[in-house]
Structure 1
């Protein structure tokens, strides 16, 4: 599918879902315009699949329809997907019913199953080792940031710019929950800052076998430079000192992981062997 075809398909899908959501709520286009602040002309174009609406305006339409924006742009149709329909029903249910449903689901849940999560600072090697381990073990590998982008429909950098740290952390928690719901066997690499959000980190430790991928402080910068990632160094002579401070502050949180793999001075192949040995020794996939 060419890019123009893919864009046209996306806009047609968004338009159809906006129209269906509006009709299900029993509101006219004029009423939706008044609630969302988006002009009737824009809404007409959007529902016809001809709109070129910005993310900000689409978010206002989604909020006016009591929808999450990913329900309008995602690959799954919210009206035919059982997962999304159940999620919508759960959000609309009274508190006591939601509590009962959670208790019932918890009784059949396999807390950690065969899920493995790699934590640690950026540059430690989480994504590289996760991808290699997934291939070696023949299990799916997922980066949490890619799932966040799937939910938001935009790159992580744009999520931060549009919604700020709080919005990003909300999506991060939702993305983690989606992975838990979809995978009993998986290896996941998460951003280094996930440990700073207590509830999300608690959820992660409860549902994944966790491995801290670490390295000596002096190894992070050269690795990031080798990857072409200059963000930590660009115009910042204090970058190394800041990295050491971040590592020191997060170390007690990273140490809550069940196992540690130190990649200092090692090739990716040697570190992979260490990780696979750790997974076997700890019986994470048994």
Structure 2
């Protein structure tokens, strides 16, 4: 029997259209968000609002779309306390849909199981596709669940928001897959930004360059979606660039645990840390071009060209 009722925590740039798609697909969705304006907008698409996260305690599915596990744990304090006093129904699912540390989401899963007397499970299911995919309901959803039956039960929930839904392994596997996704997206965006700055400073039209690149091996979804914003220097946020630093840090954390070398991820962590230091973190990911431009202007580029080793 399909679950058709859910709670949703976090109505930001991604969470709001995701929750709206659930409501539009016939789900009864009750949401909580820190700012009331987003809840008013959600009511207009058929959703309802909770006064606090603990009021979602009896929903069979409770999704969290908050920046990191620390935010989720803060939001869930009342919920877990409620479950300690009176456990939820068996099979309750807490779904972490944001980009979080694979290690931290496993620890959160243990906390939820203990607080709920084993009646609630955590499934991590981060998404990819940006705000465009969230609005259109075409997200890629990568899940981790200790019991495959929990994932199967949640498939209708996921399919209301995405078109590519896969179980990658146990709890934490979804977050590891998202970290790998961000490794590709973050470093590819940085490479495109470097290419744009190099081209423009050399007298080559960036839009024309990207058009040529798109027809060859360098063509990618990142070039297709982020490239136009990089070319026209449009940094209006579709998602804060500062989160890429966090996500690439998860790649490094996971690589250290697995004994895997990730030189590109480590370079990316440094570049996006510089982006944050420049005060650009709240702008779009494409703003990494401005970061590189600023480094060029200040002479902070540590070039080694022309040296012998």
TM tier, smaller: under 0.3
TM-score, normalised with respect to structure 1:
0.27
Q: Please tell me whether Structure 1 or Structure 2 has the larger radius of gyration of its CA atoms.
A: 1
Higher strand share: 2
Structure with the bigger RCO (C-alpha within 8 Å, sep 6+) is 1
TM-score, normalised with respect to structure 2:
0.26
Higher helix share: 1
